[in-house]
Structure 1
Amino acid sequence: MLKIGIITGSTRDSRVNKQVAEWVKGIADKRTDAQFELVDIKDYNLPRYNESVPAVFTKDYQTPEAKPWSEKIDSLDGFVFVLAEYNKGITSGLKDAIDYLYQEWNNKAAGIVSYGSTLGVSAANELRLILSVPKVATVGTHVGMSLFTDFEEMSKFNPAPFHEDTVGKLLDEVIDWSTALKTLRVKEEVLV
């Protein structure tokens, strides 16, 4: 069965990001076509990215925190990133978490759930570009939520009901694409 990680995109103490990620997981857990896991980047305590270039390609990490992060991402077949938009971009914590790895991301699919004053659209577009380098295919359906209408006082998550249908479509695509890309990863393992 496919394993899909729902990855938080913020490490701030005052974040609302985890509320959104837990909501996505609650919707995902109603499905039977994949296993879903909340992957909180804050739990991995990754320091600012400072690895050598060869480590990214050889998985010979000098940073001790990178090894459990590597193992977690390697064990997953696809992802749903939950993004908070900061200054029209993704958070530095998420960028560092992505940069620590390369092979572990390869030939996997991802969906994006974002929020911000303008639905997190700029951050979602930035993440699509970033994920293209380690060969993560991002699906077309995007869930964008507003700090003004989907949160109470910008701190308590209270999504509009119609978002649940869009999350369902996003999960359909992530599962379909993850299934297809898994065959490519299996083929590559056989060739090695």
Structure 2
Amino acid sequence: MTKLRIAVVIGSTRPGRKGEAVGRWVHELAQGREGADYELVDLKAFDLPLLCEPTVPGSANRQYEVPQTREWSATIDRFDGFVWVTPEYNHGVPAAMKNALDVLYPEWGFKGFGIVSYGSDGGTRATEHWRGIIANVMGTVVRHQVALYEFLDWDDDGTFAPLERRPEELRNLLDLLEETTLALAPLRA
């Protein structure tokens, strides 16, 4: 089998977002791993309109009408798994990221997901919501997660400064994500 391809998806599109620094940190620490090649994918770059496809994604057979959706589909289809870098907004998932998942369907199936969340309480409620949402599109979320706390993992100036234990937490997540994504490979074929 060829080497796994895993996308680190930055899911916030807000101005001043913290997710870009988190995504870059994840991507940097994932470089050079033997089990997979990691690529940074920034949702903001795709400018996806809100639920704009006239055909339900589960029935569209990857034939989308909106150019941004076609580009997003082709990008997501290239990957075997994902590190989902998600904020928590109002005790839930961010709308732009949920829309990005909802405009596609078969592209997510039988792929592994690891979640790195952030927020005032570590984004843990968003992570729990994502587990059920991703299961519905036939994705598999690994148990390990990295939960970054706004008041612990950023300094007083707002600069991302993860706690000393975070790199090990991320390595554990990536190990399990690679194992799970590899185990799902026969289902993707």
> Does residue 127 of structure 2 align to residue 124 of structure 1?
yes
The one-character-per-residue Cα deviations of 1:1-57 (angstroms, maximum 9, x if unpaired) are: 100000011001210101000000111003122100001000111011122344443
Q: Post-superposition shift, 1:116?
A: 0.8
Aligned equivalent of 2:86 = 83
> Does residue 138 of structure 2 align to residue 135 of structure 1?
yes
Which of 150, 157, 160 is matched with 2:163 structurally? 160
> Does residue 5 of structure 2 align to residue 3 of structure 1?
yes
Letter in 1 for 2:76: I
Letter in 1 for 2:101: I
Runs of 4+ residues over 6 Å off in structure 1: none
Aligned equivalent of 1:42 = 44
How far apart, in 1, do the equivalents of 2:157 and 2:130 lie? Answer: 23
Segment drifting more, 99-108 vs 23-32: 23-32
> Does residue 117 of structure 2 align to residue 114 of structure 1?
yes
Distance 1:23 1:146, change over 3 A: same
How far apart, in 1, do the equivalents of 2:47 and 2:158 lie? Answer: 24
Q: CA RMSD in A?
A: 1.2
Aligned equivalent of 1:18 = 20
Aligned equivalent of 1:190 = none
The one-character-per-residue Cα deviations of 1:78-135 (angstroms, maximum 9, x if unpaired) are: 0000111110111111000000100000000100001111111000001111101110
The one-character-per-residue Cα deviations of 1:113-159 (angstroms, maximum 9, x if unpaired) are: 01111111000001111101110000000101110010124732110
What secondary structure is seen at the aligned counterpart in 2 of 1:61? coil
Q: Post-superposition shift, 1:75?
A: 0.6
> Does residue 150 of structure 2 align to residue 150 of structure 1?
no
Distance 1:3 1:155, change over 3 A: same
> Does residue 172 of structure 2 align to residue 169 of structure 1?
yes
Paired residue total? 186
How far apart, in 1, do the equivalents of 2:8 and 2:57 lie? Answer: 25
> Does residue 188 of structure 2 align to residue 185 of structure 1?
yes
Gaps of 5+ in 2: none
Contact preservation (8 Å) 1:150, 1:159: yes
How far apart, in 2, do the equivalents of 1:154 and 1:177 lie? Answer: 38
Contact preservation (8 Å) 1:55, 1:62: no
Letter in 1 for 2:152: T
Q: How does 1:22-33 map to 2 (within 5 A)?
A: 22-33=24-35
* TM-score, normalised with respect to structure 2: 0.95
* TM-score, normalised with respect to structure 1: 0.93
